[in-house]
Structure 1
Amino acid sequence: MSYLSAVLRHLKILIPGGVLALLGACSTTDRGPAPTLERQAAWVVLPFANHTETPLAGNRAEAVALALLHAQGVGTVKRYVSTTQQEALFDVAEGKRQQEALEWAREQQARYALTGAVDEWRYKVGVDGEPAAGVTLQIIDVASGETLWTAAGGKSGWSREALSAVGQKLIRELLQSGLAAAR
C-alpha cells in the first residue's frame, strides 16, 4: 500500500503540470513592447496579406480585427475596401496594394493603421481536424509610415472548435498586447 500511495501522490503532482504543458503547446505568440497610442484617434484597417491556400483568409482576419478594435474601445475605425482581390498564391502586387491603402488612410486623416498577414487559416488534416490559425499584425503610424508595433502568433484548437473562434482568440490576444499602453 505504501508504494501505491507514493505513486498516486507523484501522479497528483505530475498530471496538472502535464495538462498545463499540453495546453501551452496550443498557442505561440511573440509581441513587441506596447507603444503609447492615442486610443481615441482615427484608425483604419488595411488589407491583410493572405499567405495561405484558404481563399479570402486575409479578408476574414481583417473583419475580425475590425470588430475587435471596436470592442477594445478605440476611436473611429474604418476598413479599406479594395476593388482588387488577391487571387494567386504568389501575389506580386501585394506591396503596391499596401501602398495604395496607406495613401487612402492618409486621405482619411487616420492616425493609426492596423494591417497584417495570415499565414495559416485552416483545419488540420487528420482524424480530429483541429482548427489552426497563424497571424502577424502591425500597427503603423499613418503619417510617417513607421511601424510602431508588431506581433506574430499561431494557435490551434480542439476538433469541435470553430476556426473563426480560434482566429478571433488569437487576434484578440495579440491586439490586447498592442493596445495595452493606449491612453
Structure 2
Amino acid sequence: MFQNILLGKRITACLLLIGTIVMGGCKTTPYQNSEPIEHMSVLILPFKNLTSTPEAGKTISALFISSITLHHVMYLSSASNGTMKDIQKMTESGTLPNSILQPLAKEHIDAVLFGNVTEYEYRSGLSTEPVVGFTWKMISTKTGRTVWTGAVSQIDTCFWFCHDTLSEFGKELVDAAVDKRLSDDYQYQSRQDYFNRSD
C-alpha cells in the first residue's frame, strides 16, 4: 500500500512538472484596440532580429504579410529602400515621430507595422521543439496612436509527435494573432452597431 501511495505521488509530481512546462512556454499579452484595422493601408517593416537565427526578423515580417494578404485584412503599401531604412532606425525607440508619419499619411499609408523577434530556435527537452517569440506594434500615421500591439512567446508543446518546423509554427502564431484581432474588431463593431440602433 505504501508503494502505491509513493507511486501515485510520483505520477502527480510528473503531471505537475509537465503542466508547468506547457504553461510556461506560452505567453501572450492583450492587444490595444483603439480603432479597427480592416481595410487600412499598412506599411510592414522587416522585424528586428534579436535572436542568433539568421533572417528570423525577415521571416516573421513575411509571415505577417502572408497572413494579412490571405485574410484580405489590409492593403499592403510599399516605400523606397531609403525611406524604409530611415523608418527602421526610428522604430528602435518603440515609436515614430510626426516627421516620419505625416509624409507617409500624405502617400495614403494609414499605418506602419513593425516589431522584434525575440525567440526563433529549436529547443531540446523531451524532444526537439520549435520556440518562437515576437512582439509587434502598429502605429497610425494620421494620429500617431498605437492601433495594434501584442507579444507572443511560445514553445510547440507537441512532445514526441512534433513535426512543425520553425516557419510552420511561426505561421500558426502569426495567423492566430491576426485572427484574434479580426475577432476583436468584429465584436467591437457589433457592440457599436447595437448602441447606435438603441439611440
TM-score by length of 1: 0.70
Alpha carbons 2:91, 2:114 under 8 Å: kept: no
Please say which of residues 49-58 and 152-161 is displaced more in the overlay: 152-161
Give 1:123's aligned amino acid.
Answer: Y
- In the alignment, the residues of structure 1 paired with residue 164 and residue 80 of structure 2 have an alpha-carbon distance, to the nearest angstrom, of 30
RMSD value, Cα = 3.9
Equivalence for 1:49: 48
Return the letter of the residue paired with 2:66: A
Structure 1 counterpart of 2:178: 175
- Tell me how far 1:144 sits from its aligned partner: 3.0
By relative contact order (CA 8 Å, sep 6+), the higher-ranking structure is: 1
Instruction: Give distance in 1, aligned partners of 2:91 and 2:166.
Output: 30
* Larger helix fraction of residues: 2
Alignment-derived partner of residue 69 in structure 1:
68
Q: Where do residues 1-12 of structure 1 align in structure 2 (5 Å cutoff)?
A: none
> Counterparts of 1:110-149 in structure 2 under 5 Å?
110-125=109-124, 128-149=127-148
Match of 1:27 in 2: 26
Query: Aligned equivalents of 1:128 and 1:105: distance in 2?
Result: 47
- Give the aligned length: 176
In structure 2, the CA distance between the partners of 1:162 and 1:34, relative to structure 1 (3 Å rule), is same
SS, match of residue 178 in structure 1: helix
**TM-score normalized with structure 2 length:** 0.65
CA distance in 1, matches of 2:31, 2:165: 28
Cα 1:79–1:21, aligned 2, differ >3 Å: closer, same or farther?
farther
Aligned to 2:89: 94
Aligned counterparts of 1:112 and 1:79: Cα–Cα separation in 2: 11
Q: 3-state DSSP class of the match of 1:130?
A: strand
Query: For 1:31, what is the secondary structure of its paired residue?
Result: coil
**In the superposition, relative to structure 1, how do residues 170 and 105 fare at CA in structure 2: closer, same or farther (>3 Å)?**
farther
* % identical aligned pairs: 21
Are 1:120 and 1:135, in contact at CA under 8 Å, matched by a contact in 2?
A: yes
**Structure 2: 5+ residue stretches without partners:** 1-13, 187-199
Distance of aligned partners of 1:133 and 1:26 in 2 relative to their CA distance in 1, 3 Å threshold = same
Q: In terms of mean alpha carbon deviation, does 19-28 or 57-66 score higher?
A: 19-28
In 2, are the aligned partners of 1:49 and 1:116 still within 8 Å (CA)?
yes
The C-alpha deviation readout for 1:5-49, integer Å capped at 9, x for no partner, is xxxxxxxxxx99998776544421112343331512212212311
Distance 1:64 1:96, change over 3 A: closer
Unaligned runs of 5+ in 1: 1-14, 87-92
